[in-house]
């Protein structure tokens, strides 16, 4: 849809078809002076091994279990899980208050929470790891998905990086939570992708990707099988989306070439992120794909696998975007346009890390 507004100067709203919601874009606000909270900015200077860190090899965790002397990835059950298995008592009594039933709904939430260490060295992050080690991470993600997906309706792979994102341990790691229910975000994306598929007979994100390839306004980096772009409807300042060029509904459907290319493009993107503000760039990232469990045998043609990176930094390594006020009470809002964010990221090196030549690092 064409628009005569100068989108770099005037406020406007953009529609997110995945979530069926609008985001307010206020590009003129990037000119305002900042006198708010400033985060402490510090470059990583971590020891390779910390005997007090419960994620390191050969260290005893708070529950008394000792980690093995692992050399690549290592997965264990979260010692403090948000979800676990238990026996739920059946509700035998019939309700006498249907209004109360609508107001106070409750269901048992069961699942499994796992922690996955990317590497035994605490001083590494994904952008400073070798491609082969990132491939090991991706293959372990797929293995964990295949282990959990038959039993659970949703498997969420995610990484929180940096203290600013609530990461409680600097050792390179992620989490995988599997649940017997479909979370809110996934439910919305499932409904909206299915609606689009029924209306147009096409996969929403494949159609979106094809148009982004033609426009070339928001693409950050691409290779033979993957594209990284700043979504048209992005909320976070330097939010990106990783999408395979081929129609793929679930992570275990990726080919060997797609796995290798995903490792390469993740490294390129994350080097760019670190180079942006010359810091170990914080973010939350995660994959979305078709539901699992009882939905594995149902048609999922409307789904397209993608990963999202949601970083909070806005102006520098010490100034972040706050989701407060209007964002919490009305709708999402951003200052920087998606096009400007993509342009800034695109112009950064994706091979030479600001601290080291990460592509040739020997650890």
341, two tokens: 């964010």
Distance CA 242, CA 57 (A): 31
213 CB contacts (<8 Å, ≥6 apart)? 219, 227
- Report residue 138 as tokens: 């991706």
- At residue 53, the 3 state secondary structure works out as coil
Catalytic residue among 12, 28, 171, 173: 173
Q: Is 28 a catalytic residue?
A: no
> What distance in Å separates the CA atoms of residue 157 and residue 285, rounded to the nearest whole number?
8
Work out the number of other CB atoms within 10 angstroms of the CB of residue 12. 16
**102's torsion region: left (phi>0), alpha (psi -120 to 50) or beta?**
alpha
The answer to whether 110 and 86 have CB atoms below 8 angstroms apart is yes
DSSP-H helix ranges across 201-255: 204-215
Tokens at residue 27, please?
């590009």
Phi, psi (deg, nearest 5) at residue 26: -125, 75
Alpha-helical (H) ranges within the chain are 98-103, 131-148, 184-200, 204-215, 256-277, 326-329, 338-346
Q: Among 140, 158, 180, which Cα is nearest to 293's?
A: 180
d(CA 271, CA 209): 23
E strands of the chain, at which residues? 12-16, 21-25, 74-77, 111-117, 154-161, 173-179, 219-222, 226-229, 240-244, 283-288, 306-310, 313-316, 319-320, 333-334
State how far the Cα of 241 lies from the Cα of 11, in Å rounded to an integer.
23
- Residue in 285, 293, 286, 290 with CA at minimum distance from that of residue 250: 290
The DSSP symbol for 172 reads S
290 touches 241 (CB < 8 A):
no
Q: Which residues form the catalytic set?
A: 173
């Amino acid at each position: 849809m064409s628009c005569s507004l100068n989108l770099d100067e005037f406020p406007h709203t953009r529609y997110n078809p995945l979530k069926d919601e609008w985001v307010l874009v206020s590009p003129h606000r990037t000119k305002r002076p900042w006198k708010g909270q400033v985060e402490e900015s510090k470059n990583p200077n971590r020891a390779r091994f910390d005997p007090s860190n419960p994620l390191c090899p050969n260290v005893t965790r708070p529950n008394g279990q000792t980690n093995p002397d692992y050399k690549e990835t290592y997965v264990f059950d979260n010692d403090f899980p948000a979800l676990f298995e238990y026996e739920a008592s059946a509700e035998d009594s019939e309700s006498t208050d249907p209004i109360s039933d609508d107001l106070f709904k409750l269901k048992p939430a069961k699942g499994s929470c796992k922690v996955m260490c990317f590497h035994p060295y605490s001083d590494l992050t994904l952008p400073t790891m070798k491609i082969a080690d990132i491939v090991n991470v991706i293959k372990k993600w797929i293995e964990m998905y295949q282990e959990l997906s038959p039993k659970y309706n949703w498997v969420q792979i995610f990484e929180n990086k940096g203290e600013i994102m609530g990461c409680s341990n600097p050792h390179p790691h992620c989490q995988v939570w599997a649940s017997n229910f479909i979370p809110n975000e996934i439910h919305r994306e499932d409904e909206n992708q299915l609606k689009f598929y029924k209306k147009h007979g096409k996969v929403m994100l494949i159609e979106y990707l094809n148009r982004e390839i033609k426009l070339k306004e928001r693409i950050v980096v691409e290779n033979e099988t993957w594209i990284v772009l700043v979504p048209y409807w992005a909320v976070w300042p330097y939010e990106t989306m990783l999408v395979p060029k081929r129609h793929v509904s679930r992570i275990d459907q990726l080919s060997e070439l797609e796995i290798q290319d995903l490792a390469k493009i993740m490294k390129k993107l994350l080097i760019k992120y670190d180079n942006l503000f010359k810091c170990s760039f914080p973010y939350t990232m995660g994959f979305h794909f078709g539901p699992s469990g009882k939905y594995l045998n149902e048609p999922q043609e409307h789904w397209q696998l993608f990963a999202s990176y949601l970083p909070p930094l806005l102006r520098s390594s010490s100034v972040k975007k706050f989701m407060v006020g209007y964002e919490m009470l009305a709708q999402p809002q951003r200052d920087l346009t998606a096009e400007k964010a993509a342009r800034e990221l695109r112009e950064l090196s994706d091979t030479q890390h600001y601290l080291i030549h990460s592509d040739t690092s020997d650890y």
